[in-house]
């Protein structure tokens, strides 16, 4: 997702709130969000957001967003929290669940094609 074309705020002091505000600006939703944050290295955070929305025809869509952030200092005081900047954002759509096992072999109880958590590059 090209960040330079967005008018959204790309920096703040809390990675979770920054991710929420960014997604509210880019793709507002009334659905549920599950948010996790990791700090794999000093001055780096990765926020993963799984967003579930339901449409009027009772179908649901699940999107997974990954927001990578770097900290680049503090605000006015040294005791202030670090300032985080969004440097990269990506998203995936969850494919509709398909019962591959019944298509391929009705005796199998598990799909013959492993699917990692439903998010696949090819639906």
Q: What angle do CA 90, 96, 101 make, to 5 degrees?
A: 125
How confident is the model over 91-115, as pLDDT tens digits? 888 865 544 443 444 443 444 444 4
pLDDT of 96: 57
> Does the pLDDT of residue 16 top 70, yes or no?
yes
Predicted model pTM? 0.69
- Compute how many other C-beta atoms are within 10 angstroms of the C-beta atom of residue 63: 19
Domain boundaries, the chain: 3-104
Cβ partners under 8 Å of residue 67, min gap 6 = 15, 18, 19, 22, 46, 47, 48, 49, 86, 88, 89
């Amino acid at each position: 997702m090209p960040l330079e074309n967005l008018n959204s705020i790309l920096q703040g002091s809390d990675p979770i709130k920054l991710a929420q505000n960014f997604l509210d600006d880019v793709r507002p939703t009334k659905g549920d969000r599950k948010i996790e944050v990791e700090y794999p290295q000093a001055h780096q955070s990765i926020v993963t957001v799984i967003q579930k929305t339901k449409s009027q025809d009772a179908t649901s869509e699940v999107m997974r967003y990954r927001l990578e952030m770097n900290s680049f200092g503090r605000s006015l005081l040294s005791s202030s929290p670090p300032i985080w900047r969004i440097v990269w954002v990506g998203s995936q759509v969850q494919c509709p669940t398909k019962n591959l096992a019944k298509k391929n072999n009705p005796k199998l109880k598990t799909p013959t094609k492993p699917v990692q958590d439903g998010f696949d590059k090819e639906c």
